[in-house]
Structure 1
Amino acid sequence: MTSKIIDDKSVHCIPFISEHLSKQRRKCLDKGEQPLPCFLELNGVQGAGKTTLTSRSPPRSLPTTILSIDDLYPTHTAQVALAQSRPDNPLIQHRGEPSTHGLGLGASVFAALKARQPGDRAHESEEVNKPGEPTIDVVVFEGWCVGFRPLSDAEVEKKWTEAREEKLWETQLAKHRLRDLLFVNDALEGYSSLHAFINIDAEDTKDVYEWRLEQEAALRASKGTGMTDEQVINFVNGYYPAYELYTATLRQGIFDSGGLGRQLRLIVDRGRRVKSVERA
């Protein structure tokens, strides 16, 4: 049975967003500059409730745009070319992992939003800051891998070696070659950080499997179509090595000492309810 997603997160996130928007405005005004939008990263494992949160959390009195990592996928032709360039790397044979996004498009959209100029998202029909409309004050960039930061090659190898030596075959990390993991890790260098970060974290990251199984079961029941349980497991397996590599850094805090207070972490239980809240 699908567990109901309860919005008990907005009560924590709205004040956090408002706080950082105010700080951003004061910082610009103190310099005699036009206030910039507040750029917020939102990370959450698949099924944790990001969609519900983004539909309610930004202060709705403020012009807000939600940009998903899914908006930055390249064309099918470009994805096929990437996959064929490394046909033996299973991590990039489908969209999703770092390296499979159109970072040039993302950079142009963020630059336009920062300059409060018109800019396109994935399609021309999704233009932002259009003439005659209020310019955007809050930009929420959400996705399952948003906020991931690259590790050193030595750190990746250490995690991979430990997984293999301890025979953690129930995980996915040990099942991949080191060079394939390093390729994805290197790609993260092109993913820049923003003003503030919200992380919807699961008490047990493996809950992502059950949450995705629930979602697909609901789709099959309501629409008669959806992935089978086996397909869901294989699908999540493709993403899971990244959770194993980068979740620890998310939990420790993605900003350096100068960024204290810029990260909000909501820890949710199996039922997606907030169990605790941390600031970093």
Structure 2
Amino acid sequence: MTASLDVLTAAVRGWLDEPRQGPLVLGLCGAQGSGKSTLTAGLAERIGVRTAILSLDDLYLRGAARAELARTIHPLLRTRGVPLTHDVARGIALIDAIRRGESVTLPRFDKAVDEPGAGEALTGPIDLLIFEGWCVGARPQGDVSAPVNALERDEDADARWRSAVNAALARDYAALFAHIDRLILLAAPGFDVVARWRGEQEAALRDQLAATGKDVSGLMDEAAIARFVQHYERLTRWILAEMPMRADLVLRLDEERRLLP
């Protein structure tokens, strides 16, 4: 990640020098397990200005709200991750407040229990807000009728789930992502590596929880991860195909997350 951090830091320093009102809002998009958290933490430590980090993952809705989406729209919306499963209005309100220099509470989602956890106080004003997530800055697709994997074929045969997700991208999420000043894509070499990267992420979380004596029964095994990443496959492939043409910076990675020349 050192080379990626070097390139990103240089770019952000240049953007910070540009005139603006309020902090620079940096959007960082990258597939699951691509190293977004490591990169953002490194940038925050190195950049030398007051920085805050907001993850799209920390905006996940509560389980009860996702259960309601599953009941009224489609059962697949019970699983967190895709557009519609975030509190977009809260994200917009947070970024607006941070732009005004206000003190806020940044949300933090506890993936081990699949529910929001305790928030983190942020005292404003700041200079840089890093907004990171697997589909940050994503745009809707055109035709979503053809399934891209077994999950879509078998559990969304009428395309109701993926159509609702796509519509949310065109509506609420477009309003959220419009708050981004600069967009960076941490580009995986392809979707096939995402399941392995996600598995490494889950293993690290398991070790972390076990070391502190916390319950790890809610974490996923290999089969569960393989099914889980299918929820993300369509949009991840679309992002890798479409976003490089418009992102302000593209960091292309190999299978070991090393920056490609």
Normalised to the residue count of structure 1, the TM-score between the two structures is 0.76
CA contact (8 A) 1:156 1:245 kept: no
Change (3 A) 1:120 1:51: same
- From 38, 57, 73, give the equivalent of 2:60: 73
Asked if residue 144 in structure 1 is aligned to residue 131 in structure 2, the reply is: no
Counterpart position of 1:259: none
CA contact (8 A) 1:173 1:241 kept: no
> For 1:105 and 1:218, how far apart are their aligned partners in 2?
29
CA contact (8 A) 1:98 1:184 kept: yes
Change (3 A) 1:272 1:209: same
CA contact (8 A) 2:51 2:127 kept: yes
> For 1:172 and 1:236, how far apart are their aligned partners in 2?
10
Shift of 1:219: 5.0
CA contact (8 A) 1:69 1:146 kept: yes
> For 1:8 and 1:245, how far apart are their aligned partners in 2?
26
> For 2:72 and 2:251, how far apart are their aligned partners in 1?
39
Change (3 A) 1:214 1:117: closer
Counterpart position of 1:122: 107
> For 1:71 and 1:248, how far apart are their aligned partners in 2?
26
Shift of 1:246: 3.5
CA contact (8 A) 2:28 2:136 kept: yes
Asked if residue 237 in structure 1 is aligned to residue 230 in structure 2, the reply is: yes
- Post-superposition CA distance 1:135-161 (Å, at most 9, x none): 21000000111111123xxx224xx44
**Amino acid paired to 1:206:** D
Counterpart position of 1:265: 250
Q: Where does the alignment leave 5 or more consecutive residues of structure 2 unmatched?
A: 109-117
- From 198, 202, 208, give the equivalent of 1:212: 198
The answer to which of 208-217 and 10-19 deviates more is: 208-217
Q: Where does the alignment leave 5 or more consecutive residues of structure 1 unmatched?
A: 1-5, 29-34, 255-262
Asked if residue 187 in structure 1 is aligned to residue 187 in structure 2, the reply is: no
**Amino acid paired to 1:51:** S
Greater Rg over alpha carbons, structure: 1
Change (3 A) 1:221 1:56: closer
- From 4, 14, 17, give the equivalent of 2:12: 17
Shift of 1:84: 1.4
Shift of 1:172: 5.6
**Amino acid paired to 2:3:** D
Shift of 1:213: 2.2
Change (3 A) 1:53 1:190: same
> For 1:221 and 1:184, how far apart are their aligned partners in 2?
33
> For 2:30 and 2:232, how far apart are their aligned partners in 1?
13
Change (3 A) 1:87 1:173: closer
Shift of 1:7: 2.9
Q: 3-state SS of the aligned residue for 2:3?
A: coil
Q: 3-state SS of the aligned residue for 1:142?
A: strand
Counterpart position of 2:113: none
| Identical counterparts, % of pairs | 30
- Post-superposition CA distance 1:90-118 (Å, at most 9, x none): 2x121111011111111111111111112
> For 2:136 and 2:153, how far apart are their aligned partners in 1?
23
Give me the CA root mean square deviation: 2.4
Counterpart position of 2:25: 39
Q: 3-state SS of the aligned residue for 1:55?
A: helix
**Amino acid paired to 2:191:** T
Change (3 A) 1:76 1:115: same
CA contact (8 A) 1:7 1:52 kept: no
> For 1:247 and 1:156, how far apart are their aligned partners in 2?
17
The answer to which of 63-72 and 234-243 deviates more is: 234-243
> For 1:201 and 1:43, how far apart are their aligned partners in 2?
8
**Amino acid paired to 2:67:** V
Counterpart position of 1:55: 41
Q: 3-state SS of the aligned residue for 1:136?
A: coil
Normalised to the residue count of structure 2, the TM-score between the two structures is 0.81
> For 1:220 and 1:127, how far apart are their aligned partners in 2?
27
CA contact (8 A) 1:173 1:244 kept: no
